Amino acid sequence: MSLEQDPSDEEADPLDAFRQFFTLERDVLVLSIAMFAFSLGFQMTSRYMAEYMTALGASVFVVGLFGTVGNVISAVYPYPGGAISDRIGSRYALTAFGLCSTLGFAIWLAAPAVADVSVGPTSLAIVAIFVGLVLAQAWKSFGLGATFAIVKQSVAPSHLAAGFASTETFRRTAFLLGPLFAAALFYPFGSGDGEIRTAFQLILLVAVLFGILGTIVQHVLYEADADGIGSAFEGVSQLVADLRAMPDELRPLLVGDTLVRFANGMVYVFFVIVVTRFLEVGLSLSVPALGTVDLSPQSYFGVLLGLEMLVALLTMVPVARAAERIGLKPVVTLGFAVYALFPILLITAPQNAAALAVLFAFSGLRFAGLPAHKALIVGPAEQGAGGRVTGAYYLLRNVIVIPSAALGGLLWDGFANPLTGERVFDGDPTLAFAIATAIGLIGTVYFFLFGTEFEAYR
């Protein structure tokens, strides 16, 4: 993407991504289609994986372990992904990661075919789910640091939050549509495990098709003429140097953010199970000309996710603009607080469709603070170092968050003494979610007390 324009000449326009897309500028068209295609696939599938795995016979702990492996991948992929991109160029890197993600979706799609094959205490289908995860997250975790660096170079420092709001708005439009597509595909099916597997395979088929589309478009249309080929990765010493060079202003943010994300990671993968199997809340509506429409808990969960993202999209840009008047720190603190409070509010919610709708709308406010959060991460970095600073920040945070989902699974499902087999703890979903909220609130309060404001927003 061209960066010739002086970033100080004009403000970032949060709707510019859509305007450029509809004027069919090639670089924006290619990246936007790829971003939309893969984001749609991820949002349709990832939020339902716990339900899919449970229908395939996985225990709650195994579902938590799946979340932990996802945390490992999120921690490990971005840094070498950026190095690979610098080395071979964005076009080939985008194509390779797109193919990997599409193959991962396909493995998830085929998993039920080997559900009857035993592998130790589990089935080959569950093993396939983990193999697919290693591949499916490739495109999602690719280029994280580069995206941050591009926004930093393209936008005036005082408008960083609005610049990130632009990219987030386009990406999260797919996050809005994905769950609604999933809800529609779940609608004709019941809540039995067999029907859940069939419905989710249809969702995965759509994800595969979008992955193929995104990969082809980005490979054929991406203009590689301006693609720079960087030097080879210098190894662990380079990574250690980048971690040591992280600006001091980021440390309180990193501590608070890590605690909040660890708390969210403990329970995030189980949100779908809470709605579909713990609360078992669906929705019955009387629609003119259609009569009564009954949504299963699985289908209603997709509607709730769509509502959550609609609130995020409606509030993201206004909140980013508000940050320019009141600062980044208050907005980030608000987002952290919503992250922290949501788990305990969800697990103790009444078995009422309207109550869940209000709760998921509230949850959408956590996304409103993401542009300000990203601006606060990359803002203090020196020009030309935004990608490395971002990569180092996310690597350190995500490594610490790795065991969170497995811990949440243990607290939910309980555990036994491995030597005697005697149950040590029977498990308590409410306790797991309460501990997550407590950890999240500690992180929120820490950042509120010790976090610093980015100079350009003071």
For the chain, the straight-line distance linking the first and the last C-alpha, in angstroms and rounded, comes to 30
pLDDT of 56 reads 95
pLDDT in tens, 286-305: 877 777 888 999 999 999 99
Locate 409 and state its tokens.
């699974």
Mark 121-134 as b/e (b = at least 16 C-beta within 10 Å). Answer: ebbbbbebbbebbb
pLDDT of 80 reads 72
Interacting residues of 227 by C-beta distance below 8 A, sequence separation 6+: 89, 90, 91
pLDDT of 51 reads 95
Pairing of β 283-287 and β 415-416: unpaired
Task: Specify the 3-state DSSP secondary structure of 123.
Answer: strand
- Mean pLDDT over 421-450 rounds to 94
Length of the chain: 458
**Quick one: which of 193, 212, 81 has its CA closest to 140?**
81
Q: Which of 41-55, 376-390, 394-408 has the lowest mean pLDDT?
A: 376-390
Q: Assess if CATH 1.20.1250.20 describes domain 16-222+236-457.
A: yes
Q: Dump the DSSP string for 21-51.
A: HHTT-HHHHHHHHHHHHHHHHHHHHHTTHHH
pLDDT of 378 reads 67
pLDDT of residue 137 exceeding 90: no
Contact 186, 174 (CB under 8 A): no
**Distance of alpha carbon 387 from alpha carbon 392, whole angstroms:** 9
Identify the helix (H) or strand (E) that includes residue 82: helix 78-88
pLDDT in tens, 235-264: 566 667 767 777 777 889 999 999 999 999
Cα dihedral sign for 25, 28, 31, 34? negative
pLDDT of residue 448 exceeding 60: yes
**Distance of alpha carbon 242 from alpha carbon 250, whole angstroms:** 13
Contact 3, 154 (CB under 8 A): yes
**Quick one: which of 365, 369, 391 has its CA closest to 448?**
369
Q: Dump the DSSP string for 314-378.
A: HHHHHHHHHHHHH-HHHHHHHHHHHHHHHHHHHHT--S-HHHHHHHHHHHTHHHHTHHHHHHHHH
**Distance of alpha carbon 84 from alpha carbon 100, whole angstroms:** 14
Residue of 319 and 225 predicted with greater confidence: 319
Give the pTM.
0.83
pLDDT of residue 79 exceeding 60: yes
Contact 175, 307 (CB under 8 A): no
Contact 167, 151 (CB under 8 A): yes
pLDDT of residue 139 exceeding 80: no
pLDDT of 316 reads 80
pLDDT of 314 reads 87
The rounded mean pLDDT for the chain is: 81
Classify residue 194 by burial, with Cβ atoms within 10 Å: 0-12, 13-18, 19+: exposed
**Distance of alpha carbon 416 from alpha carbon 104, whole angstroms:** 33
Amino acid at 130: F
pLDDT of 285 reads 83
